[in-house]
């Protein structure tokens, strides 16, 4: 369990809070690129870390993320005109570019330089991997974008989505790195003669392009033994289950600071998946989801499966809200729950959301009773609290933002001899103890580390 004080530090993300200031040291996704698809198109309201902002793509294609308040009389620029390289307030015509500069002040005398002293608050943005990223921290601390593999690939190899969730972002992260729950939450209960693996494949829970008994191993061993290694960008979390007399089935997740996690399911040749959780308020967040294949473009069938809720993705409406959510009890089917589905809820993403949301807006961690399979989330909490407290009390900047190349890692499954440690398994599976992608990126990461 956590103390009340530590739970508040862990979960509060507004400006001035320890965790809020830590999160602001990193680049965060704030929109899908498709949400601002047209130069000079309609601006969009955005709330990130409790701040109400306005995003727009100017007529030159540049993305701005600005405070929406016109400094003249306080009118909201959401109602402004997106025209010729900037946003113009419709109240008195003051105009601002993506860097927050006032580029036209028609109410001032022609010879006046008053506009040069007017500026609105703005945050730097970048586009990568189908996301618009923003940096909301001190300008002199701005790092490189994290080199997550999906951001380095052609768009044809990647599918991205996002969805809304009605709870604190931390309990979502904890659900993702708690890989023990797969033995229950996402499991199906077969009837006599039915095959569990085929049922899960039909339910789009996992790919079976690599033939093995991974589903049976997960079902038969609900007590995985965990080993956790820290590396320059986060934590590698390996959970090992019995897979025969001499072998263990490893499901290896990656937590990448401060708010990314890579799914532990993929075997070589399969698609990889990951998620990033961005706080809106302390009791709501956007979840950014990504599926990628480093070796080939995704097929249209795979993209359509993602749209229908494959793995980390959810079925959503035009506003990115899940079709199955707390507003309709996730369309839980009690008969299906009795007959085959452990939850009676359709979709892995929706099953996760139902449980995470059921804990309340912010779960009271002072009442928990943790066990051996919870070691991953314990390490995650210690990791994040240590860095938030060090920044708040000592001004110690986190090292991870400066290690952009270390974010190019993979997660996934593997079967190895029971005598091997996680680091050895990582070398077998990925060719590197951290799971780095490719020799060039590994060399770049090692150079950053040195």
Q: What is the pLDDT of residues 237-286, one digit of tens each?
A: 999 999 988 999 999 999 999 999 999 999 999 999 999 999 999 999 99
Q: Which domains does the chain have, with CATH numbers?
A: 27-141 (2.102.10.10), 149-449 (3.90.380.10)
Averaged pLDDT, 283-308: 97
**3-state SS assignment for residue 149:** helix
**Highest mean pLDDT: which range of 218-222, 308-312, 407-411:** 407-411
CA distance 76 to 71: 10
Look at residue 160 and tell me whether its pLDDT is greater than 70. yes
What pLDDT is recorded for position 191? Answer: 61
pLDDT bin (cut points 50, 70, 90) of residue 341 is confident
Averaged pLDDT, 154-174: 97
> Do 57 and 28 form a contact (C-beta atoms < 8 A)?
no
Averaged pLDDT, 394-418: 96
What pLDDT is recorded for position 180? Answer: 80
What pLDDT is recorded for position 149? Answer: 96
Residue whose C-alpha is closest to residue 407's, from 174, 202, 145: 145
The fraction of the chain above a pLDDT of 70, given in percent, is: 91
* Of 348 and 443, more confident: 348
Residue whose C-alpha is closest to residue 123's, from 60, 40, 29, 38: 29
What pLDDT is recorded for position 125? Answer: 98
Residue whose C-alpha is closest to residue 351's, from 215, 204, 236: 204
Please provide the size of the chain in residues.
Answer: 450
**3-state SS assignment for residue 18:** helix
- pLDDT (tens digit, 9 = 90+) per residue, 78-88? 999 999 999 99
pLDDT bin (cut points 50, 70, 90) of residue 443 is low
- pLDDT (tens digit, 9 = 90+) per residue, 58-77? 999 999 999 999 999 999 99
Burial zone of 207 (CB within 10 Å; 0-12 exposed, 13-18 middle, 19+ buried): middle
Look at residue 210 and tell me whether its pLDDT is greater than 80. no
- pLDDT (tens digit, 9 = 90+) per residue, 374-385? 999 999 999 999
Q: C-alpha distances in angstroms, 293 versus 256, 311, 346, 413? A: 19, 14, 25, 15
- pLDDT (tens digit, 9 = 90+) per residue, 122-136? 999 999 999 999 999
Scan for tokens 């590698």, then name that residue.
236
- pLDDT (tens digit, 9 = 90+) per residue, 180-193? 887 776 777 666 65
* Of 357 and 182, more confident: 357
Q: Is the dihedral of CA 290, 177, 229, 430 positive or negative?
A: negative
Residue 248 region by backbone torsions, left for phi larger than 0, else alpha for psi between -120 and 50, else beta: beta
Provide the edge-to-edge strand list for the sheet that holds 51-57. Answer: 44-48, 51-57, 63-66, 122-123
Instruction: List, in order, residues 6 or more apart from 137 with CB less than 8 Å away.
Output: 21, 24, 25, 26
- Mean pLDDT, the chain, whole residue set: 92
- Does pTM surpass 0.85? yes
Averaged pLDDT, 40-54: 98
What pLDDT is recorded for position 164? Answer: 98
Beta-carbon-side half-sphere exposure of residue 206 (alpha carbons within 13 Å):
26
Residue whose C-alpha is closest to residue 261's, from 377, 176, 149: 176
Burial zone of 395 (CB within 10 Å; 0-12 exposed, 13-18 middle, 19+ buried): exposed
What pLDDT is recorded for position 336? Answer: 85
Look at residue 199 and tell me whether its pLDDT is greater than 60. no
- pLDDT (tens digit, 9 = 90+) per residue, 131-152? 999 999 999 999 999 999 999 9
pLDDT bin (cut points 50, 70, 90) of residue 209 is low
What pLDDT is recorded for position 203? Answer: 41
Give the DSSP H/E element, type plus range, for residue 19: helix 18-23
Burial zone of 288 (CB within 10 Å; 0-12 exposed, 13-18 middle, 19+ buried): buried
Averaged pLDDT, 106-114: 92
- Helix orientation angle between 4-11 and 375-394, rounded to the nearest 10 degrees: 80
Tokens of 339: 């007959």
């Amino acid at each position: 369990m956590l103390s009340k004080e530590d739970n508040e530090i862990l979960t509060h993300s507004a400006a001035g809070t320890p965790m809020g200031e830590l999160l602001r040291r990193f680049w965060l996704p704030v929109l899908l690129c498709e949400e601002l698809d047209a130069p000079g198109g309609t601006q969009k309201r955005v709330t990130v870390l409790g701040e109400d902002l306005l995003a727009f793509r100017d007529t030159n294609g540049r993305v701005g993320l600005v405070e929406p308040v016109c400094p003249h009389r306080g009118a909201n620029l959401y109602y402004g005109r997106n025209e010729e390289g900037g946003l113009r307030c419709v109240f008195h015509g003051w105009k601002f570019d993506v860097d927050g500069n006032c580029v036209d002040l028609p109410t001032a005398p022609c010879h006046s330089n008053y506009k040069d002293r007017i500026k609105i608050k703005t945050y730097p943005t970048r586009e990568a991997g189908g996301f618009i990223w923003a940096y909301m921290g001190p300008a002199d601390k701005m790092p490189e974008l994290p080199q997550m593999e999906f951001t380095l690939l052609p768009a044809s190899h990647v599918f991205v989505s996002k969805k809304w969730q009605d709870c604190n972002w931390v309990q979502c992260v904890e659900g993702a790195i708690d890989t023990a729950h797969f033995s229950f939450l996402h499991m199906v209960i077969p009837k006599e003669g039915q095959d569990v693996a085929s049922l899960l494949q039909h339910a789009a829970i996992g790919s079976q392009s690599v033939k093995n008994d991974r589903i049976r191993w997960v079902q038969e061993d609900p007590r995985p033994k965990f080993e956790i290694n820290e590396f320059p960008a986060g934590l590698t979390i390996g959970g090992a289950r019995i897979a025969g007399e001499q072998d263990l089935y490893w499901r290896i997740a990656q937590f990448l600071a401060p708010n990314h996690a890579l799914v532990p399911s993929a075997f070589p040749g399969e698609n990889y998946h990951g998620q990033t959780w961005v706080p809106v308020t302390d009791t709501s967040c956007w979840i950014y989801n990504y599926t990628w294949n480093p070796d080939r473009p995704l097929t249209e069938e795979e993209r359509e499966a993602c749209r229908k809720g494959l793995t980390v993705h959810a079925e959503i409406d035009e506003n990115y809200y899940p079709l199955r959510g707390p507003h309709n009890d996730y369309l839980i089917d009690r008969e299906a729950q009795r007959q085959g589905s452990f939850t009676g809820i359709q979709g892995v993403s929706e099953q996760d959301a139902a449980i995470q949301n059921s804990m309340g807006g912010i779960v009271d961690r002072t009442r928990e009773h943790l066990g051996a399979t919870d070691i991953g989330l314990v390490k995650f909490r210690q990791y994040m609290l240590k860095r938030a407290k060090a920044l708040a009390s000592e001004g110690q900047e986190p090292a991870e933002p400066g290690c952009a190349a270390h974010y190019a890692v993979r997660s996934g499954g593997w079967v190895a001899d029971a005598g091997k440690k996680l680091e050895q398994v990582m070398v077998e599976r990925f060719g590197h103890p951290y799971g780095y992608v490719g020799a060039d990126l590994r060399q770049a990461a090692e150079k950053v580390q040195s």
